[in-house]
Amino acid sequence: MASDTHPVTHMARMLRRIASLALCMGTWVAMAQEMPQRFAGQSLYLPIYSHLYHGDVNPRTGKPSETLVSTHVSIRNTDPAAGLKIVSARYYNTDGKLLREFLPKPQAIPPLGTYELYVPRSDSSGGSGANFIIDWIADKPINPPLVEALHADIREARTLLFVTTARPIQTR
């Protein structure tokens, strides 16, 4: 029997082909996971903390200490080739009550551009469970924007900074 038709040689050749195919499939899966899903619009939920509770509960007031923070919202268009439009940025309080619409009219964001909103430290109306619902649209499916809120309280003796990230709650 010739060596290339021997069952062991044939099996080894088949196993090499299967391993090669598995490697290619693994590469295709990894590439597919790296590519963001594209959308023509979404509603995004962004948690906001206008103030933070911390420390022990004060026996006199029955409440913990509270620190007010400012919030810088950054809406970043991650698509290098297409613009998007922010249709609304509605700000809600802890009880889910609409406090205000931050956009008087839709706001266009060019490719790789950024639009920003700001909630000052003096605005504690949102409470510890405040949030934004941010709606965006595009003419065609594009990379979704990256929407984050930087919360800050900077004083002489300390700095408090943290970030929250939006998550989609509805897709178009």
> CA 22: distance to chain centroid?
33
Element (H, E) at 137: strand 131-142
Given a contact cutoff of 8 angstroms between Cβ atoms, the answer to whether 143 and 38 are in contact is yes
Residue 157 pLDDT class (50, 70, 90 cuts): confident
Q: Count other C-beta atoms under 10 Å from residue 94's C-beta.
A: 15
* Residue 15 pLDDT > 90: no
Residue 10 pLDDT class (50, 70, 90 cuts): low
Given a contact cutoff of 8 angstroms between Cβ atoms, the answer to whether 40 and 137 are in contact is yes
Q: Give the pLDDT score at 41.
A: 98
Nearest to 132 by CA among 48, 69, 42: 48
Q: pLDDT tens, 77-132?
A: 999 999 999 999 999 999 999 999 999 999 999 999 999 999 999 999 999 999 99
Its pTM stands at: 0.78
Q: Give the pLDDT score at 158.
A: 85
